[in-house]
Chains A and B, each alone.
Chain A
Amino acid sequence: MVRRLTAATAVAMFAVVAATAVVAQSDVVKQRQAVLKEFGTLTRPVGGMLRGSAAFDLAAVQAALDAYIKGAKALPGLFPEGSGPGPDTDALAAVWKDKADFDARFARFEADATAARAAITDEASFKANMPGVLRSCGGCHDVYRQKS
């Protein structure tokens, strides 16, 4: 009887641990998607300014750059081994196959965004410096994101 109870407890504990791991994994997917979604939301008005369809707004540009700098620090840690590829994520297997390159791209992105944050003071410096930062986004999507 006692032995059976011990076994049942062990099974239950294992189930809890396993379930926690699964939840943690889907949490990490949700977390990185939230960071990247925020990038998208903050970048959209910046795109309008670059295309000339929206007025230049330094505060909005700085908000986007600040989000890039903060997000680029966090993102490499939000792609742990086993958190993709899968049905809930567009991350391709290449992320984990070339993790060093993947992480290095975020480091470069962070450095570019930091430099641009300091360099951009007006519309002219915005148009000169912002495209270089944003090219990293598409460059990474091309290699590491599923095209749906």
Chain B
Amino acid sequence: MTASAESPARVLAWDLPTRLAKWLLAALVGLAFASKYYGDIGLVWHQWNGLAILVLVVFRLFWGIVGGSTARFAGFLRGPGAVAAYAASLLRGRPQHFLGHSPAGGWMVAALLALVAAQGLTGLFTSDDIVVYGPMTAVASDATIASASAWHQRLYPFLLALIGLHVAVNLAYSLFGRDNLIAAMITGRKPAGSFVDRAPATPGAIGRALACLAAAIAVVFGGIALAGGDPFP
């Protein structure tokens, strides 16, 4: 490797579908807050927003199986030993250098996806007993609606806290750590170096990404329709 200090060679870290899904999801989650507090009273905008989030989460699950190398769950969801080793290296002040997600970052991604998915799923069954009726409320029992509505509100502060932690850690690492994670997630590239995981990343094919997106749309809207709900708020 002959990387000069002025213009270091850059290697692919994140393929385009991974980056697009990531930033779209971030934008949609932000819009979900806006549409809840500033949207129409029937929360029609908020419901479309939630459906789009569910589509993206399902897309990301598919992409985590067949997508680019750094997007795959099998690559970045590591066991407790790897997490402990990473934590130890972090405490020593010399964190192991990963091209993709670090073991800690990988589990943060999983936790964020799980919580966002839970918000999307409980939202399908949520009603305010006034004018808001989620897509699945037509076929859900009153008890299910009451409990889903409660969880939809109860999970919200945890999601906010997790997002806050995620943003703070990435800002801190990008400012003080070994590379700028935020820039890498925008450009898809990191300066070449020695990484624990394989570099450069292998991108997932765009055609395959489109197939995953189509499948995700079919799963979300088809799933709601098959379960007897109304997928179009």
A50 to B130, CA, bound (A): 12
| 27 A/B residue pairs, CB under 8 Å, sorted by A | A40-B129, A40-B130, A43-B130, A43-B131, A44-B131, A44-B133, A46-B131, A47-B130, A47-B133, A50-B40, A50-B42, A51-B40, A51-B42, A51-B131, A51-B233, A131-B40, A137-B128, A137-B130, A138-B128, A138-B130, A141-B128, A141-B129, A141-B130, A147-B149, A147-B150, A147-B153, A148-B146
Question: Is residue A82 contacting chain B, with contact meaning CB distance below 8 A?
Answer: no
- Most B C-beta atoms less than 10 A away, residue of A40, A131, A134, A147: A147
User: A147 contacts B132, CB within 8 Å?
Assistant: no
Chain A residues proximal to chain B, CB less than 8 Å: 40, 43-44, 46-47, 50-52, 131, 134-135, 137-138, 141, 147-148
Give which listed residue, A44, A52, A131, contacts B41 with CB less than 8 A: A131
Chain B residues proximal to chain A, CB less than 8 Å: 40-42, 44, 128-133, 146-147, 149-150, 153-154, 233
Would you give the shortest CB distance from A44 to chain B, in whole angstroms?
Answer: 8
A50 to B131, CA, bound (A): 8
Give which listed residue, B42, B131, B147, contacts A148 with CB less than 8 A: B147
Instruction: Identify the closest chain A residue to B147 (Cβ).
Output: A148
User: A147 contacts B154, CB within 8 Å?
Assistant: yes
User: B150 contacts A47, CB within 8 Å?
Assistant: no
Instruction: Identify the closest chain A residue to B128 (Cβ).
Output: A138
User: A135 contacts B41, CB within 8 Å?
Assistant: yes
Instruction: Identify the closest chain B residue to A133 (Cβ).
Output: B41
User: A134 contacts B153, CB within 8 Å?
Assistant: no
A135 to B39, CA, bound (A): 12
A137 to B130, CA, bound (A): 7
